């Protein structure tokens, strides 16, 4: 079944509004497992890469996951091949996917983000860039996406470096996400996406020490759905640029709720770990929900 819910996002034509959340769907591994069938029936209308940093990273020590009654907590720690490794190895694979490519980047300083935006924004294979601003700026100690002034300063540096759409991925671990979204818009962002994961913690039942190798982790899945819906609605009240809404989406109705709250696209994340075809299923369910109104 082919879903037809044509959607335009930042000038990019998409078959429907369902995309993956960054870091929740490894298209290269999925292709290895499912073969070319994955290419022919790709579950998402656009593919969002896992976060790329300037330097290669191993990621956090294990354990990296903790299962929750209604979700998942992760502390993956940005393992990736770094910018050069991404360009040489992952980009050619991602460019073979039958949908537009969004590359998610994170830097530990504005200069690092600038380097990533300049290098990746110059590639014709890349349709848009998503800025993961959930990490501290090593120069100021402030989380770039938790403070409106930090976000504005980042955009002021990187906006001139590319004509490609820039999507700012907002963190829910901020006192005023709509103010950050407004700052991003005013400084030239083309879109915002939210929510990233909510900070959480689990203790090892034997030792009482933090279970996750990284100490704390990011909570996702149905547990955060209501929080995501409220934050998307609040951000939609403040900005006019398009919103990619995500957080605990597991059905077409969940996706429709985020569209009703003001999102243009909907990200599916944790549900893809349970069902790798969740993107296609949810897009089909969304089409039914919008047609029948149920
Ligand atoms: O890699 C991670 O641990 C991670 C990242 Br960069 C992120 O943005 N959100 C998340 O839940 N985990």
pLDDT digits (tens, 9 = 90+) for 18-57: 999 999 999 999 989 988 887 888 999 999 999 999 999 9
Shortest CA distance to 216 belongs to which of 227, 203, 206?
Answer: 203
Q: Which of 197, 219, 221, 272 to mutate to test the pocket of ligand 1 (most atoms within 8 A of CB)?
A: 197
pLDDT digits (tens, 9 = 90+) for 146-163: 999 999 999 999 999 999
Full-model pTM: 0.97
Give the pLDDT band of residue 58 (cuts 50, 70, 90). Answer: very high
Distance CA 43, CA 269 (A): 12
**pLDDT above 70 for 1:** no
Ligand 1 closest atom vs CA 214 = 3
Tokens coding 265: 């696209």
Ligand 1 closest atom vs CA 60 = 3
pLDDT digits (tens, 9 = 90+) for 71-98: 999 999 999 999 999 999 999 999 999 9
CB 10 within 8 Å of CB 190? yes
Residue 18's H or E segment, with its range, is strand 18-20
pLDDT digits (tens, 9 = 90+) for 201-231: 999 999 999 999 999 999 999 999 999 999 9
Q: Which of 26, 56, 62, 134 to mutate to test the pocket of ligand 1 (most atoms within 8 A of CB)?
A: 134
Q: Which of 53, 78, 103, 107 to mutate to test the pocket of ligand 1 (most atoms within 8 A of CB)?
A: 78
Q: What is the mean pLDDT of residues 47-68?
A: 97
**pLDDT above 90 for 140:** no
Q: What is the mean pLDDT of residues 168-194?
A: 97
Neighbours of 193 (CB within 10 A): 28
For residue 85, the CA-to-ligand 1 centroid distance in Å is 19
Ligand 1 closest atom vs CA 217 = 11
Tokens coding 185: 């818009």
> Helix, strand or coil for residue 8?
strand
CB 291 within 8 Å of CB 262? no
Shortest CA distance to 146 belongs to which of 132, 131, 133?
Answer: 133
pLDDT digits (tens, 9 = 90+) for 228-242: 999 999 999 999 999
For residue 153, the CA-to-ligand 1 centroid distance in Å is 22
Q: What is the mean pLDDT of residues 168-189?
A: 97
Neighbours of 92 (CB within 10 A): 10
Shortest CA distance to 116 belongs to which of 184, 54, 55?
Answer: 54
For residue 290, the CA-to-ligand 1 centroid distance in Å is 32
Distance CA 269, CA 257 (A): 16
Distance CA 98, CA 86 (A): 19
Tokens coding 226: 């209501």
Q: Is 135 a catalytic residue?
A: yes
Q: Name the active-site residue from 39, 65, 78, 135.
A: 135
pLDDT digits (tens, 9 = 90+) for 257-294: 999 999 999 999 999 999 999 999 999 999 999 999 88
Distance CA 227, CA 158 (A): 30
37 burial type by CB count under 10 A (0-12 exposed, 13-18 middle, 19+ buried): exposed
* Measured distance between the N- and C-terminal CA atoms of the chain, rounded to whole angstroms: 20
* Ligand 1 surroundings by CB, under 6 angstroms: 23, 51, 74-78, 132, 134, 196-197, 218
Q: What is the mean pLDDT of residues 245-257?
A: 98
Q: Which residue is closest in CA terms to ligand 1's atom 6?
A: 78
For residue 18, the CA-to-ligand 1 centroid distance in Å is 20
Ligand 1 closest atom vs CA 59 = 1
DSSP character string of 196-226: -PEEE--B-TTT-SBSSTTSSEEEESGGGHH
For residue 75, the CA-to-ligand 1 centroid distance in Å is 7
Shortest CA distance to 153 belongs to which of 161, 141, 144?
Answer: 144
Distance CA 237, CA 173 (A): 19
For residue 196, the CA-to-ligand 1 centroid distance in Å is 8
């Amino acid at each position: 079944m082919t879903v037809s819910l044509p959607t335009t996002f930042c000038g990019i034509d998409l078959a429907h509004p369902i995309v993956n959340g960054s870091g929740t769907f490894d298209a290269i591994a999925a292709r290895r497992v499912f073969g070319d069938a994955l290419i022919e029936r790709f579950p998402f209308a656009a593919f969002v890469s896992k976060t790329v940093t300037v330097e290669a990273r191993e990621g956090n020590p294990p354990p990296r996951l903790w299962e929750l009654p209604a979700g998942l907590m992760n502390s993956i720690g940005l393992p990736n091949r770094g910018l050069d490794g991404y360009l040489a190895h992952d980009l050619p694979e991602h460019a073979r996917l039958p949908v537009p490519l969004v590359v998610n980047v994170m830097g530990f300083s504005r200069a690092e983000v600038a380097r990533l935006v300049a290098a990746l924004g110059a590639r014709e294979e890349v349709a848009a860039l998503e800025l993961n601003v959930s990490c501290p700026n090593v120069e100021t100690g402030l989380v770039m996406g938790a403070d409106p002034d930090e976000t504005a300063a980042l955009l002021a540096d990187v906006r001139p470096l590319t004509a490609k759409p820039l999507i700012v991925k907002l963190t829910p671990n901020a006192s005023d996400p709509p103010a950050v979204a407004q700052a991003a818009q005013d400084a030239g962002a083309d879109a915002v996406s939210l929510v990233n994961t909510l900070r959480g913690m689990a203790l090892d039942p034997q030792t009482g020490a933090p279970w996750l190798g990284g100490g704390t982790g990011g909570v996702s899945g149905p547990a955060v759905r209501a929080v995501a819906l409220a934050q998307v609605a609040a951000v939609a009240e403040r900005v006019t640029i398009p919103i990619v809404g995500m957080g605990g989406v597991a059905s077409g109705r969940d996706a429709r709720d985020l569209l009703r709250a003001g999102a243009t696209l909907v990200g599916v994340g944790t549900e893809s770990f349970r069902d790798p075809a969740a993107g296609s299923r949810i897009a089909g369910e969304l089409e039914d929900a919008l047609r029948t109104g149920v």
